[in-house]
Amino acid sequence: MPLNIWRFASPQAFYSLAGKLVPWFFVAAALLGAAGLYVGFFVAPTDAQQGDAYRIIFIHVAAAWMSMFIYTVMAFWCAVGLIVNTRLSFMMALALAPTGALMTFIALWTGALWGKPTWGAWWVWDARLTSELILLFLYVGFMSLHAAIDDVRRADRAAALLALVGAINVPIIYFSVKWWNTLHQGASVSLTRAPSMARAMLLGMLLVALAAWMYSIAASLMRVRLLILERESDSDWVRTIARKEAVK
Amino acid sequence: MTSAGHPRRGLAGVFAAVVRRDLLLALRRRSDVLTTFFFFIVVVSLFPLGIGPEIDTLRAIAPGVVWVAALLASMLALARLFADDYADGTLEQLALAPQPLLVLVLGKIVAHWLVTGVPLVLIAPLLGLQCDLPAAALQVMMLSLLLGTPVLSMIGAVGAALTLGVRGAGGLLALLVLPLYIPVLIFGAGAVSASAVGMDVGGHLSVLAAIFLIALVFAPWATAAAVRIALE
Amino acid sequence: MLQAINLECMRGQRRLFRDLSFDVADGELLWVAGANGSGKTSLLRIVCTLLRAESGEVRWDGTDIRVLGEAFLADLVYIGHAPAVKDDLTALENLGFSLAQHGLATSADEQADALGRFGLAGREDLPARSLSQGQRRRVGLARLLFGASRRLWILDEPLAALDAKAVDLVREQIGIHLERGGVVLLTSHQEIDFDGLRVRHLQLDA
């Protein structure tokens, strides 16, 4: 029997599917995370130039990759929502945003924690860090716009349009900031010049990145389930669930 | 009274009518226009007061200061681009005109830029002179603002349309639009700085021109889409 | 001829109506009635493309209005709740620009004439902010006098804040429009006497 995936475009069907998947993703995240951090903190060799302080890079790089990846996925769902007008697409985008913002925030903090012992400053106007900061603004802007509009449908569509405008701008912004940075840097070194990769370091980074990905999926699925319940609260199937919960 | 025999205007005629109407409105509400203009001047003057009158420092920061002030002034003026029309019902009539909405919206943006952007282009060199920028740099300042302020109006229009009738629209507009302004700021101020130290500005201005063209292609379309979303 | 097929409208989380279908033939007026909040304005906005329906379609002369696009808008007059009049422009300028936007080039004399018929003679050159609410609505309604070339009139509470003379004029114009084969879609809380005209009623449940 062919699997009809379009069935899952209905919030009710997706709600139960997501509910079954969430625990698996959390487990995967925990396992990969443990493995990655073990490799990162114990197995990978101490760097010749930066000592042990560089180990924060395992988290920093994973968080930075995820922050950009999530924005792309978010923009994708926004585009789908605007073109096909499915409610679930907008909900998925809205569910992804807070996790994406969290990843960006982690990337910024770990970047600062790396910078201090390595270059002596908590913040350097490095191209990647500055772009991460701007990405944080884009996430916050998306969530703020959605929160500020009362009509949920209009909020969905307006925020979706904003996300797409942001998506077009992100490469332009990154290119501009990179250019600006190289012009003004002078002799100082940038954070983008990571220590040359030993295989163990690369493995560690990959594992933590995968862990972050699994976590993001789990967190977003949980959030989208909440959104589904909230928005479909008038429908029978949600009322049934609410009644069951009340009885417990 | 029959209207059957009326001549029809084409797209260009309707575009011109939209521009003319907005210019007429700006003329009648001169105080709004002048407020933005003086805001720009005040903000630029605040920086030396906050940093100190050392002329070498001022010369170094002048390009950035003038450009940031231009960004802020432009954003201040944006709030009024669609808000009045949205409130009194003329925006929905514009959306019902049998012409591509993106062209009509571009008409409003052009009128808005003529009224708020062009004065900045004209006064900025005077402010740059206060900071002892060389003549060549002043010329580049005008040119960069001439290329950059329309982009600010176009990108800002998208934000203005998205935040129509929303609580806290002013602050929200700043949050949405300022990050998108950053490339224009970097290359605009960069061009003036480069010119001030005698470096070549061709690269900066070319990128600004490219950003202008990209904005021209995407922004009116995105603004029209945002207007329709706001009108629903 | 206007057709609505299985229209469904959602505002926020509320469903206002679903499976709504109706036909309005040339020369007919459809009077949409219902309690406040029942979706009358939303229905009119769906028909004039300002609002998109959750599902269903609207057809003008047999073709989906989304396919017709600008051709449909060129055949349409929409008068909504807001008078669509700018305070800083004179009544004459407001009317002129409003018609120009729709692609009609009209002379100042014709515009003044139209405003005069709506009882605004002598006030055409005043800024609209000095006009009363009813007078502003009349400036917006003056467009109807130029509406012969547009076959579908969608009027949302056209008689609100009007005096008896203006009400008569609007009724007269609607009558003329129906006689030349136009279609009118209307909501009104007020009782209007449409004797002699082909009027149908549509009741939306609250």
User: Which residue range forms the structural domain that includes residue C109?
Assistant: 91-148
Write the CB contacts of B134 (distance below 8 Å, at least 6 apart in sequence): B195, B196
C51 interfacial to chain A (CB closer than 8 Å): no
Cβ neighbours, 10 Å, residue B87: 12
The answer on C169 and C139 residing in a single domain is no
What are φ and ψ of residue A238, in 5° steps? -70, -40
The answer on C156 and C124 residing in a single domain is no
The C-alpha angle A147, A150, A152, rounded to 5 degrees, equals: 85
Is residue C119 in a domain?
Answer: yes
- Parallel, antiparallel or unpaired: strands C14-24 and C198-204: unpaired
Residues of A in contact with C13 (CB under 8 A): 152, 231, 233-234
The total number of structural domains that make up chain C: 2
Q: Are C183 and C1 in contact (CB under 8 A)?
A: yes
Q: Which residues of B touch C (CB under 8 A)?
A: 1-4, 6-10, 13-14, 17-18, 21, 24-25, 28-29, 84-85, 87-90, 92-100, 104, 231-232
Instruction: Tell me the shortest Cα–Cα distance from C24 to chain B, in angstroms.
Output: 21
Chains that touch B (3 or more CB pairs under 8 A): A, C
Residues of B in contact with A168 (CB under 8 A): 218
The answer on C116 and C98 residing in a single domain is yes
Pairs across B and C, CB distance < 8 A? 109
The answer on C178 and C139 residing in a single domain is no
Is residue C82 in a domain?
Answer: no
The answer on C164 and C108 residing in a single domain is no
Q: Are B89 and C82 in contact (CB under 8 A)?
A: yes
User: Alpha-carbon distance B220 to B101, whole Å?
Assistant: 9
Instruction: Tell me the shortest Cα–Cα distance from C23 to chain B, in angstroms.
Output: 22
The answer on C40 and C10 residing in a single domain is yes
User: Alpha-carbon distance C152 to C177, whole Å?
Assistant: 9
- Position B103 scores a pLDDT of 94
- Position A188 scores a pLDDT of 41
Helix (H, G, I), strand (E, B) or coil at C11: strand
- Position B69 scores a pLDDT of 93
The answer on C51 and C108 residing in a single domain is no
DSSP label at C34?
E
User: Alpha-carbon distance A36 to A39, whole Å?
Assistant: 5
Residues of B in contact with A162 (CB under 8 A): 162, 176
The answer on C15 and C70 residing in a single domain is yes
What are φ and ψ of residue C37, in 5° steps? 85, 5
Per-residue pLDDT of chain C (206 residues; tens, 9 = 90+): 899 999 998 887 788 888 899 999 999 999 998 888 788 899 999 999 999 888 899 999 989 998 998 899 999 999 998 888 999 899 999 999 999 988 888 888 888 888 888 888 888 888 888 888 888 899 989 988 888 888 999 999 988 888 888 888 899 999 999 999 899 999 988 878 787 788 888 888 75
Chains that touch C (3 or more CB pairs under 8 A): A, B
The residue among C185, C98, C146 whose CA lies nearest residue B94 is: C98
C200 interfacial to chain B (CB closer than 8 Å): no
User: Alpha-carbon distance B72 to C201, whole Å?
Assistant: 54
Residues of B in contact with A157 (CB under 8 A): 229, 232
- Tell me which residues of chain A have a pLDDT lower than 70: 1-5, 44-45, 47-53, 183-198, 248
Q: Are C103 and B9 in contact (CB under 8 A)?
A: yes
The residue among B156, B130, B154 whose CA lies nearest residue B141 is: B130
Domain coordinates of chain B in residue numbers? 12-231
User: Alpha-carbon distance B5 to A40, whole Å?
Assistant: 81
DSSP label at C104?
B
Q: What is the ipTM for the molecules in this complex?
A: 0.90
The answer on C137 and C117 residing in a single domain is yes
Query: Mind listing the pLDDT tens digit for each residue in B118-131?
Result: 999 999 988 888 88
Is residue C84 in a domain?
Answer: no
Query: Mind listing the pLDDT tens digit for each residue in A98-144?
Result: 999 999 999 998 888 877 777 777 777 777 788 889 999 999 999 99
Two tokens, residue B207: 């990128």
Reported as half-sphere exposure (CB side, CA atoms, 13 A), residue C128 has a value of 25
Q: Which residues of B touch A (CB under 8 A)?
A: 158, 162-163, 166-169, 172, 175-176, 178-180, 182-183, 186-187, 190, 207, 211, 214, 218, 222, 225-226, 229-230, 232
Write the CB contacts of C194 (distance below 8 Å, at least 6 apart in sequence): C29, C31, C171, C174, C175
For the whole prediction, is pTM greater than 0.90? no
- CATH code, C187: 3.40.50.300
Q: Are A17 and A92 in contact (CB under 8 A)?
A: no
DSSP label at A189?
-
- Position A197 scores a pLDDT of 62
- Position B216 scores a pLDDT of 95
The answer on C156 and C141 residing in a single domain is no
What single letter denotes the amino acid at residue B11? L
The answer on C24 and C67 residing in a single domain is yes
What single letter denotes the amino acid at residue C86? K
Instruction: Tell me the shortest Cα–Cα distance from C144 to chain B, in angstroms.
Output: 10
Residues of C in contact with A152 (CB under 8 A): 12-13
Strand partners, C64: C59
The b-or-e profile of A27-61 (16+ CB within 10 A means b, else e) is: ebbeebbebbbebbeeebeebeebeeebbbbbbbb
Burial of residue B90, with CB atoms counted within 10 A of its CB: 0-12 exposed, 13-18 middle, 19 or more buried:
buried
- Position C37 scores a pLDDT of 79
Q: Which residue has the tokens 């990843």?
A: A103
What is the DSSP code string of C105-162? ---HHHHHHHHHHTT-TT-TTSBGGGS-HHHHHHHHHGGGGGGGG--EEEEESTTTT-
User: Alpha-carbon distance C35 to C126, whole Å?
Assistant: 37
The answer on C54 and C117 residing in a single domain is no
C66 interfacial to chain A (CB closer than 8 Å): no
What single letter denotes the amino acid at residue A185? Q
The sheet carrying C55-60 orders its strands as C14-24, C2-11, C55-60, C63-64
Two tokens, residue A138: 């884009």
Instruction: Tell me the shortest Cα–Cα distance from A152 to chain C, in angstroms.
Output: 6
Write the CB contacts of C56 (distance below 8 Å, at least 6 apart in sequence): C4, C5, C6, C7, C8, C19, C20, C21
Instruction: Tell me the shortest Cα–Cα distance from B168 to chain A, in angstroms.
Output: 8
What is the DSSP code string of chain B? ---TTPPBP-HHHHHHHHHHHHHHHHHHTHHHHHHHHHHHHHHHHHHHHHH---HHHHHHHHHHHHHHHHHHHHHHHHTHHHHHHHHHTHHHHHHTSSS-HHHHHHHHHHHHHHHHHHHHHHHHHHHHHHTT--HHHHHHHHHHHHHHHHHHHHHHHHHHHHTTT-TTHHHHHHHHHHHHHHHHHHHHHHHHHHHHTT---HHHHHHHHHHHHHHHHHHHHHHHHHHHHHH-
Give helix B11-28 / helix B30-51 axis angle, nearest 10°: 70
- Tell me which residues of chain B have a pLDDT lower than 70: 1-8
The C-alpha angle B199, B201, B205, rounded to 5 degrees, equals: 165
Chain Cα centroid distance, residue B73: 8
